Amino acid sequence: HEIIVQKGITYGSAFNNQTKKTQTLTLDAYFPPESDKRTARPAAVLVHGGSFETGSSTSDDEPVLAQNLVTRGYVAVSINYRLTGIHYGLESTQPAIDATEDAKAAVRYVRKMAKEWKIDTSRVLMAGDSAGAITSLYAGYAKCASGEGQSGNPGFNSSIQAAVSVSGELKVEAFCKRIDPKTLK
């Protein structure tokens, strides 16, 4: 009864302002064993930390978290996203927006694969630490801070039902300097 892992699945692509090239976006997917016969599993999209400058789908113990979620009935994916923090610096919100657009594309991909992966599309969460936490919060709460982006899987819903933040914040947005609170829904 082993957890099934598929690594390096392409879920989209986007122009990376750090490398000045279009980047293929990949994720690692973690599935319950074949003996799990549920047809509607919750899904978790995991986003690594690294100041939007470093890290990967295998950083920050994301594989361990994914496996723990799978043992609790989830399908979990750990994503790679554009690392543009070096280019823009920590004063810019652009790296968070780039990462959020990519993470939303991963959520859309999960919904695209829902039938094959036996996912309940009404139960999708996003979780991360540090930069991944900020990305999760952007995806969950700062809806007008970034659009859908062009990272992939148009036509599928990118909304999440839960955002889990481990060591991340929306400080700038909390003080409403950039987001009109009337547009938050």
Task: Output the pLDDT for position 175.
Answer: 43
The predicted-structure confidence for 32-42, as pLDDT tens digits, reads as follows 999 999 999 99
Task: Output the pLDDT for position 144.
Answer: 60
The predicted-structure confidence for 79-138, as pLDDT tens digits, reads as follows 999 999 988 876 788 898 999 999 999 999 999 999 999 999 999 999 999 999 999 999
Q: What count of other Cβ atoms lies within 10 Å of the Cβ of residue 59?
A: 17
Task: Output the pLDDT for position 185.
Answer: 45
Task: Output the pLDDT for position 114.
Answer: 98
In this prediction, residue 23 has a pLDDT band, given cuts at 50, 70 and 90, of very high
Residues 6+ apart with CB under 8 A from 20: none
- Residue 176, pLDDT > 50, answer no
How many whole angstroms separate alpha carbon 85 and alpha carbon 70? Answer: 31
Task: Output the pLDDT for position 90.
Answer: 64
Task: Output the pLDDT for position 58.
Answer: 97
Longest dimension (CA), the chain: 51
- Residue 174, pLDDT > 60, answer no
HSE toward the beta carbon, residue 125, CA cutoff 13 A:
15
Position of tokens 């549920």? 38
Task: Output the pLDDT for position 93.
Answer: 84
Which of 26, 68, 60 is CA-nearest to residue 44?
68
DSSP category for residue 183: G
Q: What is the separation of C-alpha 35 from the centre of its chain, rounded to a whole number of angstroms? A: 27
Which of 151, 145, 144, 157 is CA-nearest to residue 110?
157
Which of 58, 166, 173, 47 is CA-nearest to residue 98?
47
How much is the CA Rg of the chain, to the nearest whole Å? 16
Percentage of the chain beyond pLDDT 70 is 88
